[in-house]
Amino acid sequence: MSYYLEGIPTVDLDLFVNGNKDQKATFVAELGKAYEDIGFVAVKNHLIPDKLISDLYSEVKNFFELPLETKTSYEIDGLAGQRGYISFGKEHAKDSNAGDLKEFWHFGQEVTDGDPIKSQYPDNVFTTETPNFHATGLSAYKALENTGRHMLKAIAIYLGLDESFFDQKIHNGNSILRPIHYPPITNEPKSAVRAGQHEDINLITLLIGASADGLEVLNKKDEWVAVTALPDRIVVNVGDMLQRLTNNKLKSTTHRVVNPSREKWGTSRFSIPFFLHPRSDMKLDCLENCVDSLNPANYAPITAGVFLDQRLKEIGLKK
């Protein structure tokens, strides 16, 4: 296991996908230790082609350069921000009322196999001004979903579960791809952060390296550690659903996005996380093998759908 920044380890997904028995076991052990210690890893040899990442960033920039009135025409009432455009400052951290300094877009699941769960999902929103935005976003969605599927297989093994434990739970899951634009700072900001400290809602988050620094992770010493993914790696972290499922064995780490130094205020920051969610009926009850007399269940039973609904209200996307 190698470290490119203090406390943030790098793992090689190829060891799990194509390695022998020993290499696969090594990957599982390294991943599990990292997720118990800090909840974040950098992943090399992931399954998202470099060209697709480059094309996605190009399409994302093209969309966010559109006039505001054009972008807001794709902000659809009644969707709780789950598809299309979400305007600047609308979302905030769970325990804060201050809007984050960002605008973003949501791509959601495309159900193509006749699964009745399709009725639970709103349709994706298409733009006419950026015709390649949708196709490129959905291609990246599928590549990230596939990468996440392998990561969850390794997590299942680490937890003493069958490797396929998550497979049906995430099939046609309610995952979200979120291209984010943090616009240039034009006035003295009220705080030092562009996105307030928070934990992610979902099982795991896969983050394609941002266009600029800013992401920070809170470590066990209550110190903020800067995280900047190298060009050939993505960052994958534990979300609250997985922390809840494992009764705090795996850590959903607090993180934030801080403002750049004053000389960089005039620059935009782009970031593209993929929030891997299960189907809404997945039970997040603490796993039996993560509960004992010394560590009783810390969470009441709940489904992923109810948990998500609660959080969307807490962060201001749903009334």
**Residue 49 domain-assigned?**
yes
Q: What is the DSSP letter of 318?
A: -
Number of domains in the chain: 1
The verdict on residue 189 lying in a domain is yes
pLDDT of 78 above 90:
no
Strands (E), 97-220: 103-108, 176-177, 180-182, 193-198, 204-208, 215-218
Q: Give mean pLDDT, residues 175-185.
A: 91
Q: Which residues contact 238 (CB under 8 A, 6 or more apart)?
A: 35, 39, 40, 204, 250, 251, 252, 253
Q: What is the pLDDT of residue 6?
A: 45
> Is 268 among the domain residues?
yes
Q: How much is the pLDDT for 218? A: 86
Q: Is residue 292 part of a domain?
A: yes
Residue 186 domain boundaries: 2-314
pTM, rounded to two decimals:
0.91
Residue range 40-74, pLDDT digits in tens: 899 999 999 999 999 999 999 999 999 999 999 99
Q: Is 33 exposed, middle or buried (0-12, 13-18, 19+ CB in 10 A)?
A: middle
Residue 319 in any domain: the answer is no
Residue 266 in any domain: the answer is yes
Per-residue pLDDT, 94: 61
Give residue-wise pLDDT tens across range 7-17.
478 999 999 99
Check whether 100 has a pLDDT greater than 80: no
Alpha helices in the chain (DSSP H): 13-17, 21-37, 50-64, 68-72, 133-158, 167-170, 240-245, 304-314
Provide the CA 172 distance to its chain's centre, in angstroms. 17
Q: What is the CATH number of the domain that holds 108?
A: 2.60.120.330
Q: In the structure, what pLDDT confidence band is assigned to residue 277 with cuts at 50, 70 and 90?
A: very high
Look at residue 290 and tell me whether its pLDDT is greater than 80: yes
Cβ neighbors of 270 (< 8 A, separation 6 or more) are 57, 60, 61, 64, 179, 180, 181, 182, 210, 211, 212
pLDDT at res. 5? 46
Whether 125 is covered by a domain: the verdict is yes
